[in-house]
Each structure stands twice: as C-alpha cells, then as structure tokens.
Chain A
Amino acid sequence: MKNMMEVKDLTFTYSGASEPSLKAISLPVEKNKVTALIGPSGCGKSTLLRGMNRIHDLYPGHRYEGAINLLNADEKAYTNILDIKKEAELIRLRQRVGMIFQKPTPFPMTIFENIAYGLRLSGVKKRTELQEVVEQSLRDAALWEEAKDRLSHDARGLSGGQQQRLCIARAIALKPEVILFDEPTSALDPISTLAIEEMISVLREQYSICIVTHNMQQAARISDYTGFMYLGEMIEFDQTDTIFMKPSQKQTEDYISGRFG
C-alpha cells in the first residue's frame, strides 16, 4: 500500500529552545490505515503531529529540518510540505490535512455554521450544497441524530463528547486526505470515548489517520501501526501487533508494560 504521508528525518526546534524537540524523526502514514503515536509526556508527539499540517507556523521562530512528504492528488509523486511558503498554499494544506485537538474547540457559532464555515472559506457557496455536506458530515461523525433538531443552536450548548464529534464533522466536511488526532478522547468520558473510537475505525476506510494517545489499550484497539517515541526520538515503529506483542526495543517493552512513563 501507498504511504499518504512520509515524515523523513525531521528535526524540529522551537523558537528560543537550545535543543531540538524532534530529532531525525521518520514516520510513514499509510493510506487508509490508522497510525498511532505513543510515548511518555513531553516526548514530542504533539510537536510531530503539529508539524504535519504546519500549525507550528502560527508562531514565529521555530526551525524545521528534513522533509514531510504528502502524496499528490495524482498519487504519483510527493510534495514536501516544508517547502510551502505562501499562505494560500498553507491553507490548502490544512484543508487536505485536518486536525482534531485534545480539548473540543467549537467555534462561537451555531452547529450548522461550525461545519459550514470551513466549507464557505473553501469556496462552497450554494445553500443546498452546504446543507448536504453538513448533514453528511454529521452523519459520518455519528452526531446527526442528536443534532439535527438543533442545527441553529449555539454549538457550545453541546456536551463535551458531542462537541468533539462536531469538531470531527467539521474536519471531515472538507474531505481531507489525512486526519490528525491529538489525544482526542483524553478529555471525554468512557462512552464518548468509545463512540469516537468506533468512528475512527469507520473513518479509516476513507481517510488516512494519525492519532496520538496516552491510552495503550486505545492504540492497540484502533491502530494498524504504532510508533513509540521517547525524548524526541522515534524509538520503534512497526505494526501495532508487533509493538504490543514482541517489541524489539527494551524501552518500548518497558513503556508498554507500564514500567515507566
């Protein structure tokens, strides 16, 4: 199978930091698969993920070295997203590589507008088309039944779990190729967590997914590949079964068995 994204020897240094937070990291994100990132707090999982849609660029002064390749639409060649300079192209990149954050982030608008907003910015104008996509995205995010009667209500009135599903609906409305999840369930109750895990295993038929999680069972349950990071390095990357059953690195084994981290 093809890789949708390939991080190659990425070294990343925050503005003003003396040490890089990522050291020569490589990570493939295979098409239509779920890739999980695990590792103790502060090892650089979020930093890596936030490089993959260049959200770091919101703040000046950081430094990237290496490459992050994204498969072109023709599926023949890759483009290094670190070469992108123009804001318009960065915007295009973020439409292709969506992101879900740890805390739900509903915009201060109605449920409908939360989803329609990104679509409008991407050029969709027709009301009927907006309505169609909003409905489809809410269905895909398993929120339609709960939300269909309150589309014109403020999205901040939803529960935390519903808000997170709204954020997912908002991301998939743009038909991205990759979705990045940064601990999407760590602020949610077990039932909402389960709903989102189920959704991710459905979403993977259409999207390529990379997810950061602190929950080892979650990684084991939903991912095809897992990367274990420690102190800014990729210690081990393999099929999830291998990582959890017979890891080749001592550190990975220690972490998975709960001996540190």
Chain B
Amino acid sequence: MIQKLIMYFQFPFVRYALIVGVLIALCSSLLGVTLVLKRYSFIGDGLSHVAFGAMAVAAVMRFASTTVVVLPVTVICAILLLRRGQNAKIHGDAAIAMLSVSALAFGYMLMNVFSASSNVSGDVCSTLFGSTSILTLSKTDVWLCAVLAVVMLALFVLLFNRIFAVTFDETFAKAIGINADRYNLIIAIMIAVIIVLAMNLVGSLLISALVIFPALSAMRLYRSFLKVTVCSGILSVLCALAGILISILAGTPVGSTIVAADAVVFLICCVLKRIGVGTE
C-alpha cells in the first residue's frame, strides 16, 4: 500500500495535484463559514450550476483551459445575484433557482449536441461529480488553481476582521462607516472564484458539500468566529488529504471520496457535541 503511494508520489505531477487539492479545500472551507452564516449557501449552489453551464460551453469550444472561461462568467453571475438579492429579497431565491436550472439544462444540451468526444455521458458525469482523478487536470489549470487559491487565502486573512464585522452585523458596520457593500461584493467574488476552483476538485454538484461541511462541523465544536474558521480550515485540509490518498489507493473518484470524508467528520462532530466534548 505504502509502496503504491510512494510510486505515485514519484511523479511531480501527483505531488502538485495533492498540493492544489489541499489549497482549494482550505480556502473553500474558510469562506464556507461566512457563506453559512450569511445564509448565502443557496447562492453558492446556484453559482456551481452556472459554472457547470460555462464549463460545458468552454468544453464545446475546445478551450485549452476551461477555467479561463468559467471564472469570469461565474464571477459576473455572483455579482448579479448579489445585486438582485439586495434589491428584491423575496424574489432572490426564485431567480437563483431559475438561473441554476437553466444553466444545467443548456450546459447538458450543448455538451450532447456539440461534443466531439464519443463519451458524452462520461464528460457530463465528470463535470458534475469531478474528474475521476485531479491528475487529469491540464497543467495550465493546475497552476491557475494554485495561484488563485493562494491569492484567495491571502485576501481572506487580510480581510478576516472586516468579514467578521460585515457578517455579524451589517447595519452596525454601515453605521460606523465600513463600506459593507464593497465587502459584500468582495465576498461574492471570492465565493465565485472558490467555486470555480472547487469544481476542478469535486465537480459542480458536490461543491456545496466541500464548502459547507467543514464550517458546519467546526460550528459543532467551537463558538468563537476565529476558532470556528481555523477549525474549519484544519478539518477541510485533513479531509482533502485523506480523500485524495484514499482515492489513489482504492481507485475511487476523488471528489466523492473527499466529500464522503467531510460527511463522516461532520457526523463525528455531531456526536462529539452530543456527548459534550469540544464546547470548551
């Protein structure tokens, strides 16, 4: 077993993939806390479907790196959804549902009609549930992912206190002169970027799980914003590592293995909370 791992890790590409996977898992879990608390989870879900549609278009048009196309489209949708959410709170849900379902439908249709590949359902499946292995990512994608993930991490650390203020009490933040709208916009853009990154790791249907599970698990164990964020990051990194290694050894699909690990950890945290561990 160990030998098999060592054999794999002799390829530099496998090592890079592992690093990128862990980085993506880390930044998605950090922002996941804000996403859960701001009740933005549904935006995340909608965006992941939009990303799927964009991915289909990019695949059909045979771009070397799909991320280059998917990223701007998703970011623009995030901004639009946020604007809508602010103007008309009630209709926001319906708008997102419509947008995400149409994106899915058009994406699938395009892939079916135009795809040059003989294995359409395989392509669709891997876009929805993640490639069977992140090792199949193109080299450009791996580098782009790594750079973006590092930028997101740095931005998150820099804005951590602002994100807390805006998430905890937006009205107060505005009252004391914090430009809450600007930070909401930044948060929305960061969410969009992270969704596009996470899509490479777990596919568009499982993104929500990757983003939300670690945050929910951490909230079972800790009660301060800082501790929850740190714990969420650590849990996510551990699950990603475990998921990737298991998938290499057992030949399971990477995305679903990571999400399964996240789900198991969540259950463990629920049990720990029940029996009174971790509530400090």
Q: Do A and B associate with each other?
A: no
Chain A residues within CB distance 8 Å of chain B: none
Q: Which residues of B are in contact with A by a Cβ distance under 8 Å?
A: none
